[in-house]
Structure formats: C-alpha cells, structure tokens
Amino acid sequence: MSTTSPVPAAAEPIASPAKKQPVNIVCIGMAGSGKTTFMQRLNAHLHAAKEPPYIVNLDPAVKNVPFDRNIDIRDSVNYKEVMTQYNLGPNGGIMTSLNLFATKIDQVIGILEKRADSLTRVLVDTPGQIECFVWSASGAIITDALASTFPTVIAYVIDTPRTAQPATFMANMLYACSILYKTKLPMILVFNKTDAHDAEFAKEWMTDFEAFQTALRASEENGDDEAIGGSGYMGSLLNSMSLMLDEFYNHLDLVGVSAMTGAGIDEFLKAVDGKVEEYEKDYKPEMEKARAKREEDKVKNKQKELDRLMKDLAVGKKEEQADVISDLDTDDEDNQGMVERDEDEVVNEQDEETLQKRYEKALGDSGSRSTKEEEESLQRYLQKSQG
C-alpha cells in the first residue's frame, strides 16, 4: 500500500529588513577643544570596524586635515581669495566661504543620496570659530538640508580640563543649550581629553544640583583663578541657571572620550544610535510639520501676491476705460455713453416730428405777415419732407 507524502505548503517570503539610512554626525566645538583630533580618532575607529565613514569638511580656513575627505569646501571655495576680494577678516572670510558653499548644498545632498546604500555614517567637520557656523544663515541652511534628508545628530565637543570649574562648565552648558534650540536636532555632549581630566564631575553636576552648589562654594574657598564665588550676585545667578537647565539636561547624552587614546568612542557610537531613534520619534515629525507649515505659508503668500496683481490689473483696465470716452458702454439707458453722429445721417421719425414743430413755431412767431403763396409753398415743402 503506497502512501502519499503531503505536499509542503509554500513558504511565505521573508521580508528583508529595511536598509538603514546613513547617519549624519555634525561635529561642533570651540577652538582648541580637540574637535579635529576627535574626528580623526572616530574615522580611524570606523575604518578598523570595516565601516568607513563619508567625511565632509566645512572648514575653509584649515591648513592641514589629518584624514581623507570625500567632500572638501576648499575644493570649491578659496578662503584667502574670498578675504582679498571682499576685504574681509578671518571670521568674515569663513562666513562668506560658507555662504558660497551653501549655494551648492543641493549637489552635496545629491551625492549623499546616490551613495546612501553603501554608507553608514557621514562625518561633518565644522569651523573652529563656532559662531561662524552655528549663528550664520549658511550654517542653518546646511544643517537643515542634511537633517531633512538623513538622520542627523549634533556632537558638541567640549574641552574637559577647561570645563572643570563651575563657571566655565555653566558657560559651556548655556552655549550647548543655545545650539540645541538653534539647530533643533538631537545633541550629544562629548567631553574630550578625558586622558587629562576625568569627566565624571560633569555627569554629577548635571544630575545633582546640590553637588554643583558644593563645587561652587569649594571653588571660592580654594581661591581658584577662575572662581566666581558661591555667594553674591554671580553665585546666585549660577545657582539659578543650574536649576533652569535641569530640564535641558534631560535631553542630552553625556559621553567622555579621549581623542588621544580612543577611549569612549564605542560609547559615543552607541549614544549616536540612541539619538537616531530619538530623531525618528521626536525631531523628524516636528521638522516635517515645520516644513509643511512653511510650504503652506509659501502657497498663501503666492496666492496673496497673485490676488494683488489681478487687482492691480483690474484697476489699470478701469482707468484706461475711463480715459477714452468713446469706449464707454453701459446697459443703463438713463446713462448712455456719448456717441458722435455724422451730419448726413438720416434722422429718425421722432427727430422729423420735432423738426416740423420747430418750423410751425417759427412760422407762428414770425413778426412779418406771410402771403398765401408763401404759406402754400411751405406746406408743400413740409408734405414733401414727410413723404
């Protein structure tokens, strides 16, 4: 007796996981914070992990870059020539160079989109003169263009040894706060140079208000050169700002790294992955909402300008008609436009009756007595004209 083995059901196709988009990491930091060295270390780490990044250099004034660049602003903008032609100083030259480069940002985005399938991370190096990038129109254009295409994270690099004092720490936090709300993008605080000074104090100050107050008083008692003091107006101001920034700290990730030794780079990359999820959940919807609002306002303004143009055209047409009397035409019988008639035009019946009455009135009012022949001749003329 033969047995028939059941036919196996067709297996359902397994959906392949969607390819992750490359992540833009925009490195921002004060001059001397070790930003370029951090970029070099991050580049070497990713190459060692077989995930080479795509690097974009936006610093037109840098002389030597210790890593290979895929896109370099210096290839399209000559910083020294910009300073000479426009009679600018160093900062003005950087801002003008960024403005010129911002006009080509669509080409940069096009290149990144073509290579998106083979990229995992895009590293963007910015000028050390932080205000030239953060507070310029070109900086906003570049960051908005990057963030509207791929997930984008801001890495704010901080010089840890220089931030060990409460006053300088608070100054850096205020600057980070301004960058966060200016770019409206997820941010990671990168405390660099941890090989020279540990960054644990910063984590404690950001999570414990009492610890910051204690450090502020200790700074005054120790007579530190950069101490502002735990009492008086400035001490009260620092305490108030630390309370105010408590909510701000909740939106930040703090990572201590050493660009010299490579310590903390893995933690930084994990923080970037976490910020990408935050970008997709919180920041991207807000950006799309803001973009839709701008498009809506643009359409409204365009329609408003069109209505104004049509109104101006209508007014101009009306004035043109009023200047030419012969062109006036109206359906109102009591207000007919003026019409010029020819002298040889045949008069209508109403005009003939009026003419006859005028003749008769003229004859009745005449001072001289007409003869019978004249009266008969006039009657014949009138009859002839009626016929």
Q: What is the 3-state secondary structure (H, E, C) of the chain?
A: CCCCCCCCCCCCCCCCCCCCCCEEEEEEECCCCCHHHHHHHHHHHHHHCCCCCEEEECCCCCCCCCCCCCEEHHHCCCHHHHHHHHCCCHHHHHHHHHHHHHCCHHHHHHHHHHCHHHCCEEEEECCCCHHHHHCCHHHHHHHHHHHCCCCEEEEEEEECHHHCCHHHHHHHHHHHHHHHHHHCCCEEEEEECCCCCCCHHHHHHHHCHHHHHHHHHHHHHCCCCCCCCCCHHHHHHHHHHHHHCHHHHCCEEEEECCCCCCCCHHHHHHHHHHHHHHHHHHHHHHHHHHHHHHHHHHHHHHHHHHHHHHHHHHHHHHHHHHHCHHHCCCCCHHHCCCCCCCCCCCCCHHHHHHHHHHHHHHHHHCCCCCCHHHHHHHHHHHHHHHC
Higher model confidence: residue 260 or residue 239?
260
Buried b (16+ CB within 10 A) or exposed e, 256-274: bbbbeeeebbeebbebbee
Q: Binning pLDDT at 50, 70 and 90, where does residue 219 land?
A: confident
What is the structure's pLDDT at 39?
Answer: 94
Question: Which pLDDT score is estimated for 154?
Answer: 95
Is residue 81 over pLDDT 80? Answer: yes
- Band (351; pLDDT cuts 50, 70, 90): low
Task: Please name the residues in contact with 242: beta carbons below 8 A apart, sequence gap of 6 or more.
Answer: 170, 205, 209, 212, 213
pLDDT at position 272: 95
Comparing 6-20, 162-176, 236-250, 347-361, the range with the smallest average pLDDT is: 6-20
10 domain residue, yes or no: no
* Residues near 21 by beta carbon (within 8 Å), at least 6 away in sequence: 116, 150, 151
Q: What local confidence, expressed as pLDDT, does residue 20 receive?
A: 76
Residue 304 pLDDT level (bands cut at 50, 70, 90) = confident
Across 9-18, 167-176, 353-362, 372-381, the highest mean pLDDT is recorded for: 167-176
Q: What percent of the chain has pLDDT over 90?
A: 42
- Residue 377's pLDDT is 66
Residue 102: how many CA atoms within 13 Å on its side-chain side?
17
Classify 229 in phi/psi space as left (phi over 0), alpha (psi -120 to 50) or beta: left
Question: What's the confidence (pLDDT) of residue 381?
Answer: 64
Q: At what angle do helices 349-365 and 372-386 cross, to 10 degrees?
A: 170
* Mean pLDDT along residues 11-34: 74
The residue-averaged pLDDT of 225-250 equals 69
* Mean of all residue pLDDT scores within the chain: 79
- Domain housing 231: 29-273
pLDDT of residue 7: 46
Domain count for the chain: 1
| 222 located within any domain | yes
Could you tell me the pLDDT band of residue 323, with boundaries at 50, 70 and 90? very low
CB 134 within 8 A of CB 182: yes
**Is the entire prediction scored with pTM above 0.85?**
no
C-alpha 55/C-alpha 121 separation (Å) is 9
pLDDT single digits (tens) 25-46: 999 999 889 999 999 999 999 9
Highest mean pLDDT: which of 31-35, 282-286, 304-308, 343-347?
31-35
Tell me, what amino acid is at 175?
Answer: Y
More confident of the two residues 267 and 303: 267
Instruction: Please write the tens of the pLDDT for every residue from 183-202.
Output: 889 999 999 999 999 999 99
pLDDT at residue 315 in the model: 57
Residue 294 pLDDT exceeds 80: no
pLDDT band at 104 (very low <50, low <70, confident <90, very high): very high
Q: Return d(Cα 284, Cα 298) in angstroms, integer.
A: 21
At residue 302, the pLDDT reads: 81
Confidence (pLDDT) at 352? 55
Q: In this predicted model, which residue has the larger pLDDT, 14 or 107?
A: 107
Any domain includes 311: no
21 found inside a domain? no
Evaluate whether residue 169 is within a structural domain. Answer: yes
Q: Identify the band that residue 374 occupies on the pLDDT scale cut at 50, 70 and 90.
A: low
CATH number at residue 88: 3.40.50.300
pLDDT at position 291: 73
The answer as to whether 342 is a domain residue is: no
359 vs 375: CA distance, rounded Å: 12
Whether residue 95 has pLDDT greater than 50: yes
**Does residue 112 belong to any structural domain of this protein?**
yes
- Provide the 10 A C-beta neighbour count for residue 175: 17
**Residue 356 C-alpha from the chain's centroid:** 84
pLDDT at 80 over 60: yes
Q: CA torsion sign, 70 to 32 to 192 to 206?
A: negative
CA 256 to CA 200: how far, in whole Å?
A: 8
In a domain? residue 363 = no
Q: Give whole-number Cα distances, 57 to 126, 192, 293, in Å.
A: 7, 20, 32
- Of 263 and 17, the structure prediction assigns the larger pLDDT to 263
